A and B are shown apart, each in its own frame.
Chain A
Amino acid sequence: MAIKRAQLKQQKQDALAARQPALSMPEGGEWITAARKDAAGRLDAMGLPIRRDEYWKYTRPDAFTSAEPVAAALTDDAGTQVFEGVDVLTVVFRDGAFDADASDDLALDGVEISRLADAAQADIHWAKDIYGALETAGQDPVERPLAALNTAYATDGLVIRATGAAAKPIHVVYERSSDTSDAVLHHVVKVEEGASVTLLETGAAGARANTVTEAAIADTAAFHHVRSQGRDQERQLVTHMFARLGTESTFKSFTLTPNGKMTRNECIMELTGDDAIAHVAGALMADGKDVHQDDTIFITHDAVNCESRQVFKKVLSNGATGVFQGKILVKQGAQKTDGYQISQSLLLDEDSQFLAKPELEIYADDVACSHGSTSGAIDEDALYYLRARGIPHRKAQDLMVLAFLAEAVDEIESEELREAILRRIRLWLDLEDDL
């Protein structure tokens, strides 16, 4: 055993040694340099994930740990138009670099927004208490080295502080023009007591991208997060969302993954104040044998009377793979916890696969937690019924795909955003708008 562990540790160190030469720590002020060095220290201690890691059992980390990204051909429709028509403040990063010309002024009622690259120049900044701090907390009990790597080496991102009700959503658009770009971006979101803000993200950020968002949500505050990850066939993307929730706060996150070669989305939420609500949902449309997508969720209940909810729907076709690892940890004393988790896949053929690992770990005695996972083919009776009314096979199937995904999309609180996502899915499926 001991030898095996030492071996694993060495392999992780080797993986890091292979990746490290391509990384360089950006210049910055005192606060961020300290945070980056801390993160580099954490990373040094952990190494990088390897295939034999239990936490990477269903997803190969290679795409994220190689020194250079695997080239990713550009596509015409990268899917950045998802929120068209929604009144937003737009911020554009192109291949990981801030695009001032394409971005709006970073001025919005109820919110202070700046670039991380600017905030990093200061010697002291409010983001100091969050940047790397939530990520550090999220390293226990499971290591997430790619997040530490991000904290240490991220070149830019947004630093958002909501002090009131944000006048409109902040929309981060990730464009890419390069087939070899390697983006590392880090966002910090602080939602003050009673404040609320919505963050939207679309696109692929880079041929390879590693993004981290740390969100500190104060008492009675609300943070909504809706993203569509870029319908970009070859991009490789690893994301981490770390959220810490205060008393009576709300956090709702929804992710649409419309293809992409490799995606790993980790969402780590800690409910630290009583009566908090945390919802995370995802809809995946994965088509093709090279498409692999992984949602890895870790929710820690550490307060009384909190609610958490996970709803994941994955449509898999032509040999695609979908992964769901979702864990609810209810700590001692987190009584009256209401934890719900469902992950479902719709397999459109026999070559595709869904791998699910739902987990509950409960140390309180007065809780209601449930989880379920299903995997199934399309309902043949329903398909026949639709076809008997003249709807062609493919369209009938697409209607059912939309219906299946809609159950995850419905988790989005804002009707406008929900409709925007549904409209886009319909468009991609070539279905008519609802009346």
Chain B
Amino acid sequence: MLEIKNLHVKLEDEDKQILKGLNLTVETGKVHAIMGPNGSGKSTLSYVLSGRDGYEVTDGSATMDGFDLLEAETEERAAEGLFLAFQYPVEIPGVSNMTFLRTALNAQRKARGEEEMSATDFLKMVREKAKSLKIDADMLKRPVNMGFSGGEKKRNEILQMAVLEPKMCILDETDSGLDVDAMKLVSDGVNALRDEGRSFLVITHYQRLLDHIVPDVVHIMADGRIIKTGGPELALEVEKNGYADLLAENA
């Protein structure tokens, strides 16, 4: 369960408040969606939860099954089961996708006091998971995200999620830049991971992703706050009327 209470975040180097008292609870096994206009602070929320530099939490808390996310190092949050699928996955020259995945998985296991996975078991597991995401051997061998198309990068994010088996997955605009086929692949990948022990926070600007990944709860975010919460029908309302009415309601 992810619990965010009264979260206030500003930029470290600038006097600019981005999150202004955000409250959000994602129960274990549920899929929550956050929608909101550009610049409302959705990515900032995901970055702050995963521990990116450059932000300062001025008030509030964020815990995952009681684990204080905000105090921990980025890698500790990951080992604890937090996963962020990036809006803009980073290219890393010289580090093969396979090495990256294996190093990550074993580092997490080590941090949790678990046995590392043998090379054979690992290869078998990755190949299987890659196959269902249509990620071929060449993409696994290539340096992380180097020369990948937008869709390939997003599929690669989902592969990482499938390999690392986190308990809390945050997907930041995973649908952006995807064509219909890629959207289907990615959604199927996510849906396959839906599990009663795993929660999702799906950040999206558009409703169409939510046709594929049907959420239990939808939140509307504006200006650093959740301004409305409802069921999947809320997403349809946004799709039809845009954000203007909701924002006006709240002004």
Interface residues of A (CB under 8 A from B): 379-382, 384-393, 395-396, 399-400, 402-404, 406-407, 431-432, 434-435
B103, A395: Cβ atoms closer than 8 Å: yes
CA–CA, A388 to B123, complex, Å?
A: 22
B90, A432: Cβ atoms under 8 Å? no
Q: In the complex the two chains form, is A390's CB within 8 Å of B99's CB?
A: no
Q: Within the assembled complex, what's the spacing in Å between the Cα atoms of A392 and B96? A: 17
Can you report 5 A-B residue pairs in the complex whose CB atoms are below 8 A from each other? A379-B92, A384-B74, A391-B103, A432-B99, A435-B123
Report yes or no: A385 in contact with B78, Cβ–Cβ below 8 A. no
Given contacts A380-B53, A432-B99, A435-B99, contact A387 B73 (CB under 8 A): yes
| Cα separation A404 to B96 with both chains bound (whole Å) | 13
A400 touches B92 (CB 8 A): yes
A390:B122 contact, CB within 8 angstroms: no
Instruction: Determine the distance from Cα of A434 to Cα of B123 in the docked complex, in whole angstroms.
Output: 11
Using a CB–CB distance below 8 Å, which chain B residues touch chain A?
50-53, 73-75, 78-79, 84, 86, 89-96, 98-100, 102-108, 111, 119, 122-123, 143, 160, 164
Contact across chains for B103 and A406 when beta carbons are under 8 A apart:
no
User: Which of chain A's residues have a CB closer than 8 A to the CB of B84?
Assistant: 388
Q: Are A392 and B94 in contact (CB under 8 A)?
A: no
Report A344 CB to chain B, min CB distance, Å.
12
- Chain B contacts of A384 at CB under 8 A? 52-53, 74, 90
* A406 CA to B89 CA, complexed, in Å: 23
Interfacial chain A residues near B51, Cβ < 8 Å: 387-388
Decide if B92 touches A391 in the complex (CB within 8 Å).
no
Q: Given the complex, which residues of A lie within 8 Å of B50, measured CB to CB?
A: 388
**B79 cross-chain contacts in A, Cβ below 8 A:** 390
How far, in angstroms, from A152 to B95 measured CA to CA in the complex? Answer: 47
Is B102 a contact partner of A432 (Cβ separation < 8 A)?
Answer: yes
Q: How far is the CA of A393 from the CA of B72 in the complex (A)?
A: 13
Structural contact, A399 and B99, CB atoms closer than 8 A: yes
Q: Is the CB of A389 within 8 A of B93?
A: no
Minimum CB–CB distance for B210 against chain A, Å: 24
Distance of A404 Cα from B93 Cα, bound (Å): 8
Q: Do the beta carbons of B94 and A386 come within 8 Å of each other?
A: no
Which residue of A is nearest B84, CB measured? A388
Q: B103 near A431 (CB under 8 angstroms)?
A: yes
Kindly state the separation between the CA atoms of A347 and B106 in the bound complex, as whole angstroms: 28
Interface centre among A389, A434, A435 (most CB of B within 10 A): A389
B130 smallest CB distance to A (angstroms): 13
Across the A-B interface, the 8 shortest Cβ-Cβ residue pairs: A403-B94, A390-B78, A390-B108, A389-B104, A385-B90, A387-B74, A387-B75, A382-B92
CA A193 – CA B119 in complex, angstroms?
A: 46
Residues in A with CB closer than 8 Å to B111 are 390, 392
- Supposing A400-B92, A403-B93 touch, asked if A389 and B160 sit within 8 A by C-beta, the answer is yes
Q: Which residue of B lies closest to A392 (CB)?
A: B75
Query: Do B75 and A385 have beta carbons less than 8 Å apart?
Result: no
- Shortest distance between the CB of A431 and any CB in chain B (Å): 7
The CA-CA distance from A99 to B14 in the complex, in Å, is: 66
Question: What's the minimum C-beta distance from B144 to chain A, rounded to whole angstroms?
Answer: 8
Tell me the nearest residue of chain A to B101, going by C-beta.
A389
By the criterion CB–CB under 8 Å, are B73 and A435 in contact? Answer: no
Whole-angstrom distance between the Cβ of A109 and the nearest chain B Cβ: 36
**Min CB–CB distance A388 → chain B (angstroms):** 5
A385 in contact with B86 (CB, 8 Å): yes
Q: How far is the CB of B79 from the nearest CB of chain A, in Å?
A: 5
Closest to B50 in A: A388
B91 closest partner in A (C-beta): A382
Q: How far is the CA of A407 from the CA of B105 in the complex (A)?
A: 26
